[in-house]
Amino acid sequence: MFKKTRRRIILSIMGSLTSLFIITLSVILFASFSQMKRENMEKLERYSNMFLLENQKNAEDSHANEPPAPPNYQLSVFYSVAFSNDGSVLEVNEGDNKLYEKEELVSLAKEALNKNQKDGKTGELVYLVSQRPGYILVAFLDNTMANSNMDRMIQNFIAVGLAAILVLLLISLLIARRIVRPLEENDSRQKQFISDASHELKTPVSIISANTEMLVREIGENEWLSNIQYENERMGILLKQLLDLSRAENASVPMEKIDLSNIVAGDALALDSLAFDQGKNINSNIEDNIQIEGNRTQMEQVVTVLLDNAIRHSSGKEIEITLKKHGRSAVLTVSNEGKEIPPEKLGHLFDRFYRVDEVRNSEDNHYGLGLSIAKAVVLNHKGNISVSCKDGKVTFTVTLPSV
């Protein structure tokens, strides 16, 4: 139980932190890409505005009045292809590094024009299409360095983020352990108290029973002594159930290879007469020779608890018990017709002293411990027990590893 609690705390913490990391990374990447795209367009627009065909260039002072270009513009690599309005190539600028052949630039420029978009991206190049006096200019900006820097930034961010998440995972483990430790200690003290109190009360209950029998022999039967005997017997039954619960939760019992099919069939047969007395019938569907590693006494206890619970609470006549093997698991189910159990109560059926009917008292010598004992035994056998309520049927399912 506490392992699940620790796991949920860790998952909650790590889920929140991981989500925060992903959101932060997404925001940073979106902002960076948006800024890079905006800067690229500004550079291309500046380049396009300054561009002149060879036959339009005059003296060097043609751009004398142009403001000085920023450093990031001066370091950028541009290419361009100018087309006449009828589509013929007027001029191709290969840039200073000559990484692209004229034919390749012309092909990329025509591809950009065919897209009918003002700007876009092709490979490592971003482009801008602009209408100039008497011709169309497709300007390219080599974005290799910027993309490389962006990739490096993403890699560094992810590496730092993963390292931070790993550190936070360790911190989460410590936090979860510290949060759960008081609950574990409190639960351990409760179990120890139940065990100690049950053992301590056995002696006075035995003494009361013996003295009551002596008084009956001395003065005969009377109403007061009968009440003492009745309540003392109920106390003895409660103490036995508390000790069974304590042993199931705390004691280490010997395990051996046992025939679960034989145990289930035997208990179903033994309780069939009890069901018959109450006008009910136990229908068994038990697969033969299902073996598990377990304790025979405790497994008999689980089957008895589930069948007794079904007999007492069934509103119909038929009780179904099945045992089948699914893969490497033995699956035991006990079903009975019964009142619809609200979902908020269904999850508490295995709690100690819990009753669905809060008005019902313990006159039938059942104190809400049977299912708690069954759950403790099943967990001790590395299995799982669950309950479902559907279409007027209450079904308990026990899953145990088979051998």
Mean pLDDT, rounded, for 66-75:
59
Cα separation, 369 vs 248, in Å, equals 12
Check whether 46 has a pLDDT greater than 60: yes
Among 3.30.565.10, 3.30.360.10, 3.50.50.60, 3.20.20.80, what is the CATH number of 253-401?
A: 3.30.565.10
Q: Band of the pLDDT at 74, cuts 50, 70, 90?
A: low
Give the start-to-end residue ranges of the domains of the chain. 2-54+67-148, 253-401
- The neighbour count for residue 234, using CB atoms within 10 Å, is 15
Check whether 341 has a pLDDT greater than 90: no
* Chain mean pLDDT for the chain: 82
Cα separation, 196 vs 198, in Å, equals 5
pLDDT at 368: 67
**C-alpha to C-alpha distances, 308 to 320, 370, 375, nearest whole angstrom:** 12, 9, 15
Which of 71-80, 93-102, 104-113 shows the highest mean pLDDT? 104-113
Mean pLDDT, rounded, for 194-214:
79
Check whether 291 has a pLDDT greater than 90: yes
Q: Band of the pLDDT at 397, cuts 50, 70, 90?
A: very high
Mean pLDDT, rounded, for 362-390:
80
- Tens digit of each residue's pLDDT (9 = 90 or more) over 244-286: 777 776 667 788 999 999 999 999 998 998 899 899 999 999 9
Mean pLDDT, rounded, for 224-250:
77
pLDDT at 332: 96
pLDDT at 313: 86
Which of 66-70, 185-189, 211-215 shows the highest mean pLDDT? 211-215
pLDDT at 367: 58
